[in-house]
Each structure stands twice: as structure tokens, then as C-alpha cells.
């Protein structure tokens, strides 16, 4: 890269005071010696100088109408809170079912050594994920790409496949400690089923809820999750867009295991999503893990199994 | 977060509307202006800014205070705005280099209205109008990053947290967005170029 290109690349960061001291010195040395870049800097400075004055005043009735909306939101929230107890009860029943099914699986595949044929093309989670080889799973972990709710990131992914390189592959450490134990998939379904409710509870206290599902047919799984999100009352559209982006990428051949971060500003939606997921993917693992960001997310990790 | 703010956050989490209104008092104008630059329409901006506050009020018990309240609030505002833009422009094709192609973005840039005299105030006003028009013609993601940087005055680190992207991405995106802004200004009607060049030459001499 020649020094003019480097200079232009650093132009914004220079104006924003975001260069390191060494970069700053190199930038200024070049600017002093190069008329073209010096003109660029002056031009950009003049364009940016008016930004300070672009700010406009609030509309007159802003505060009063906002107040009315806050009062309405508070009332609605209190009504919905009554429903949450009901959903929590239902999810406890669901968790109970998982426990029963899980024990059934453990007995069949563990005690009697029954091998489940995983070649059937079901979209549902692989019936016996315990059989997944640890080594294969580790390789897949390295191919996980992260998609999150921020619009811009989605937009970039959608519009330019090369920008996928901007997404850092999640390191195994990042999410691995809860899922991968010595290269083996954590198979303690009983504990996981028990933690289902705990996961919901902790979601209110700075924890992400990590949902792991293992599927044979990724397309069908993504379609199912999109359908669940659509079904949710007042479904959160950024989440829907995130999901669709992930699905489209998969359709376009970005054949990866995926982790999807979903944000729900509303506890009721959060729990409804989990309940629906539980119904669609009875074998899913639910864990409560430290939140990655300042706001809590539901992270859905979808792994393909052959 | 200072103690007073922390206190207000706790009260708000308990449903205290007065406390929440005190908490957001200093952020209202900023949030409104984010929405205004993102939507380009005062009515939508008011609606969305209020949506953001309502959403923040409902979700505030999840705010843990790791980041500043304002960063958290701006992030919610951005999510609300981008959600809105998506719904409105489902069919718009966004191109990385060219900004956006699509009906919404084909609005011609408003020519600066010729003022009564060539005094500096008029020039400044014209340039302001010019930049606003150019800004509105950028793609949503470029508008977004410029709003956070120029209007909110956020550091790259805070922008990175707000948008959940790396600082390296913030740096390159801001650079691309400003480059886009400049290109729109320089490539559109030719006299814009003379206008801008004249202005900065003048600035350089003083």
C-alpha cells in the first residue's frame, strides 16, 4: 500500500483522534509532504465542520406525549406480568417432558446399547447426539460464525458475501466451556433439562440463555425458528431480520454451524420464544451463561450432525 | 455511571415514571436527532424516539450498568430505527460502495437555496443544507455510523459497543461513509464542488 492510500485510509481516524501516537506522526509527516492528501484533509474538515449545527430541537409536544406512552406501557407491562407466571408453569411441564424423554433415550442408547439410525432425513434434532464424535464437533466449532442483531452488520452480510470475513469466528473458548468438555458434547441432559427454568430465571440477571440444538437438516431448522419468531405475538422484527439473514446465508452456501443472537426487550416474548423452541426442538440444550454484552440475549447455536 | 444516575435507574426499574423521565431528560434531544437523521422525517422521528424510550423503560431492569446508560439507550434507538427502515424498504438493494440504490435513495439532493447575500452566515447555512442532503442520500448503515460519530460524538470504542462490531470495522466504515458523503457532494451538480472548495480555501487562509 502506498503512503497516499494509507493516509486516506487513516484520514477519519486522524480527524477523530483515534490513531496511535506512531500512526499520528506518520500521518502528519505525510500530510506535510503531500499536497493532494493535505487538500483531502482540508476538504473533509470543512464538510465535517457543519455537523455540529445539524442538531434540531425537540417537537413541542414530545415530552407530554411520551409521558402518556410511558404510563400506557407501565400498565400493559403489569398486565403481561400476570401471564408470565402461567408461561413459567407451562415451561416447567415442558421441562418435565424433556426429562422423561431424555431418560428414555439414556436408557435405550446407554443401558441397552441401541444404536439409533441417524440417516433418516428428519429435521428434528438428532435423536442421539451423544454419538457425535468429539473430534468432529471440535472441527465444526471452528467454522462457527456469529450473527448478531445490529442492523449494519446484518446489512453488510446480506450485501456482500466477502464481508463475512469481518465476522470473527467464535473461538471455542468463547462458548465452548459450556458445550464442549474435553472435545465431547456435554450429554448431561438431565442437568440441562433441570436448568431450563433456571435459564429463564437468570435471563433477568445479566445472563445470556444459550440454546444449543443439533439438527440433521439445517434449512428446516432455520425455517422452523423463523416460523417461531413470526408466530410470536408482536414478534421482534430485528430478530426476524437477523434470522432471515442467517437463513439466506445458509441458502447461499455458507455452510456453517451458526450462532444467532436474539434480543428481546420484553420478558414475555423472551419466554414465549423459549417455550416455542422447546416444543419444536424437544432435545435442545438450554444453559444460562454469562452475558456477552450489556444487554442479555438468547443465543441459539445450531449444529449439524451427519 | 454516577450514584444519582444509578439511583434513577433502580427507581425506573421499579416502574417509577418520574425517575425515568429525569433519567432521560438530557438524552431526549440526542435520541430524537438520531431518529431524525435516520428516518429523515420529523413525524417518524418523534414516533421512533418515543418507541425507543418506551422500550428502554420496559427493559431497564435488564440494564446492568456495564456500559453507560447513554450507550445502551443509543443502541436501543438505533435498533428501533433500523427495524423501521427495514420494514419500510424491504425491497431496497443496498450496495457497499455506492450507498443505496432504490426509490427512497434516489431523491435528488436539494440545491442550496440562494441566500440574500454572500455573507458567511448564508454560506454556512447552504453548506449545512448541502451536507444534510448528502447525508440523507447515504445508505442506512453509513448514515447510522455518521450519526453516532458526528451527532452523538461517540468514540470508536463506544460506537463499536453500540453497534456490536469491532473497532476496526468502525474505523473503516466511518472512513467509507465520509468518503461516500464527500463523493455525493463532489459528484452531484458541479457548482457544489466550487462551493466546497471555495469554503475550505477561505478557511485555510484565515
Choosing from B88, B115, B139, the residue where a domain stops is: B88
State the DSSP code for A111. Answer: I
User: Given B31, B59, B88, which residue is the final one in a domain?
Assistant: B88
Q: Which residue of B has its CA nearest to A11?
A: B175
Residue A137: pLDDT over 60: no
Is 60 exceeded by the pLDDT of residue A168?
A: no
CA B127 to each of CA A70, A306, B198: distance values in angstroms, whole numbers, following the listed order: 39, 61, 11
Segments forming the whole domain that contains residue B71 = 1-88
Q: What percent of chain A has pLDDT over 90?
A: 13
Q: How far is CA B89 from CA A154, A159, B93, in A?
A: 15, 14, 9
State whether A151 and B151 contact (CB < 8 Å). no
- Is the minimum CB–CB distance between A153 and chain B shorter than 8 Å? yes
- What nine digits make up the cell of A82? 400476570
- Across B163-183, average pLDDT: 90
Residue B62 sits in the same domain as residue B134: no
CATH number of the domain that residue B148 is part of: 1.10.10.10
The domains of chain A are located at 3-53, 73-304
Q: What is the mean pLDDT of residues A117-126?
A: 42
The DSSP line for chain B is --HHHHHHHHHHHTT-HHHHHHHHGGGHHHHHHHHHHHHS-HHHHHHHHHHHHHHHHHHGGG--SSS-HHHHHHHHHHHHHHHHHHHHTTT-EEETTTEEESGGGGPPPPPPPP-SS--HHHHHHHHHHHHHHHHHTS-HHHHHHHIIIIIS---HHHHHHHHT--HHHHHHHHHHHHHHHHHHHHHSSHHHHHHHHHHHHHHHH-
B100 → chain A, closest CA residue: A159
- Model confidence pLDDT, tens digit, residues B6-16: 899 999 999 99
pLDDT of residue B44: 92
Residues in chain B: 206
Domain boundary among B55, B88, B121: B88
Residue predicted with more confidence, B110 or B51: B51
Average pLDDT, chain B: 76
Please tell me the total count of domains within chain B: 2
CATH code of the domain covering residue B51: 1.10.1740.10
Does residue A145 have a pLDDT over 70? Answer: no
Query: B174 with B83, same domain?
Result: no
Sign of CA dihedral A254, A255, A256, A260: positive
Tell me if B2 is assigned to some domain: yes
pLDDT at A211 over 90: no
Contact list, A241 vs chain B (CB under 8 Å):
83, 86
Q: For residues B49 and B84, state if they share a domain.
A: yes
Q: Give B18-38 pLDDT, tens digit per residue.
A: 999 999 999 999 899 989 988
**Do B30 and B116 sit in the same domain of this protein?**
no
pLDDT greater at residue B170 or residue A109 = B170
Which one of B57, B140, B181 has the shortest CB-CB distance to A73?
Answer: B57
Q: Which residue has the higher pLDDT, B93 or A227?
A: A227
Tell me, what DSSP letter sits at residue A50? T
| Of A84-98, A257-271, A289-303, B157-171, the least confident | A84-98
Residue B97 lies in a domain: no
pLDDT the model gives residue A71: 93
Amino acid at each position: 500500500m502506498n503512503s497516499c492510500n494509507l493516509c486516506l485510509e487513516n484520514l477519519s481516524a486522524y480527524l477523530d483522534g483515534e490513531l496511535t501516537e506512531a500512526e499520528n506522526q506518520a500521518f502528519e509527516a505525510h500530510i506535510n509532504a503531500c499536497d493532494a492528501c493535505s487538500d483531502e484533509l482540508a476538504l473533509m474538515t470543512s464538510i465535517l465542520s457543519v455537523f455540529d449545527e445539524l442538531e434540531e430541537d425537540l417537537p413541542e409536544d414530545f415530552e407530554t406525549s411520551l409521558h402518556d406512552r410511558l404510563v400506557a406501557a407501565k400498565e400493559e407491562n403489569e398486565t403481561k406480568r400476570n401471564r408470565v407466571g402461567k408461561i413459567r408453569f407451562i415451561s416447567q411441564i415442558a421441562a418435565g417432558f424433556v426429562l422423561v424423554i431424555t431418560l428414555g433415550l439414556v436408557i435405550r442408547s446407554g443401558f441397552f446399547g441401541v444404536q439409533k439410525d441417524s440417516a433418516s432425513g428428519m429435521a428434528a434434532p438428532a435423536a442421539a447426539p451423544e454419538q457425535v464424535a468429539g473430534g468432529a464437533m471440535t472441527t465444526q466449532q471452528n467454522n462457527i460464525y456469529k450473527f448478531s442483531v445490529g442492523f449494519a452488520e446484518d446489512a453488510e452480510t446480506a450485501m456482500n458475501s466477502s464481508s463475512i470475513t469481518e465476522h470473527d469466528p467464535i473461538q471455542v473458548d468463547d462458548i465452548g466451556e459450556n458445550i464442549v468438555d474435553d472435545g465431547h458434547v456435554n450429554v448431561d441432559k438431565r442437568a440441562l433439562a433441570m436448568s431450563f427454568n433456571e435459564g429463564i430465571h437468570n435471563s433477568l440477571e445479566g445472563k445470556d440463555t444459550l440454546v444449543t440444538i443439533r439438527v440433521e437438516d439445517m434449512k428446516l431448522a432455520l425455517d422452523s425458528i423463523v416460523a417461531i419468531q413470526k408466530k410470536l405475538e408482536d414478534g421482534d422484527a430485528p430478530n426476524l431480520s437477523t434470522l432471515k439473514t442467517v437463513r439466506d446465508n445458509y441458502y447461499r452456501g455458507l455452510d456453517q454451524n451458526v450462532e444467532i443472537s436474539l434480543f428481546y426487550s420484553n420478558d414475555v416474548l423472551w419466554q414465549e420464544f423459549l417455550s416455542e423452541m422447546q416444543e419444536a426442538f424437544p432435545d435442545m440444550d438450554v444453559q444460562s451463561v454469562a452475558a456477552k454484552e450489556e444487554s442479555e440475549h438468547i443465543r441459539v447455536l445450531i449444529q449439524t450432525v451427519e | 455511571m454516577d450514584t444519582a444516575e444509578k439511583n434513577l435507574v433502580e427507581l425506573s426499574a421499579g416502574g417509577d415514571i418520574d425517575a425515568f423521565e429525569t433519567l432521560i431528560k438530557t438524552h431526549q434531544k440526542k435520541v430524537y436527532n438520531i431518529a431524525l437523521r435516520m428516518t429523515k422525517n420529523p413525524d417518524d422521528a418523534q414516533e421512533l424516539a418515543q418507541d425507543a424510550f418506551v422500550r428502554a423503560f420496559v427493559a431497564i431492569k435488564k440494564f446492568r450498568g456495564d456500559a453507560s446508560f447513554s450507550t445502551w439507550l443509543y443502541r436501543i434507538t438505533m435498533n428501533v430505527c433500523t427495524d423501521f427502515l427495514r420494514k419500510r424498504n424491504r425491497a431496497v438493494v443496498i450496495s457497499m460502495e455506492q450507498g443505496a440504490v432504490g426509490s427512497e435513495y434516489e431523491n435528488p439532493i436539494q440545491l442550496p437555496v440562494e441566500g440574500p447575500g454572500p455573507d458567511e452566515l448564508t454560506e454556512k447555512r447552504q453548506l449545512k443544507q448541502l451536507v444534510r442532503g448528502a447525508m440523507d442520500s447515504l445508505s442506512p448503515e453509513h448514515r447510522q455510523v455518521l450519526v453516532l460519530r458526528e451527532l452523538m460524538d461517540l468514540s470508536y470504542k463506544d460506537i463499536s459497543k453500540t453497534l456490536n462490531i469491532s473497532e476496526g470495522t468502525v474505523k473503516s466504515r466511518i472512513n467509507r461513509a465520509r468518503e461516500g458523503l464527500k463523493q455525493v457532494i463532489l459528484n452531484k451538480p458541479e457548482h457544489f464542488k466550487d462551493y466546497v472548495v471555495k469554503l475550505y480555501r477561505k478557511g485555510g487562509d484565515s
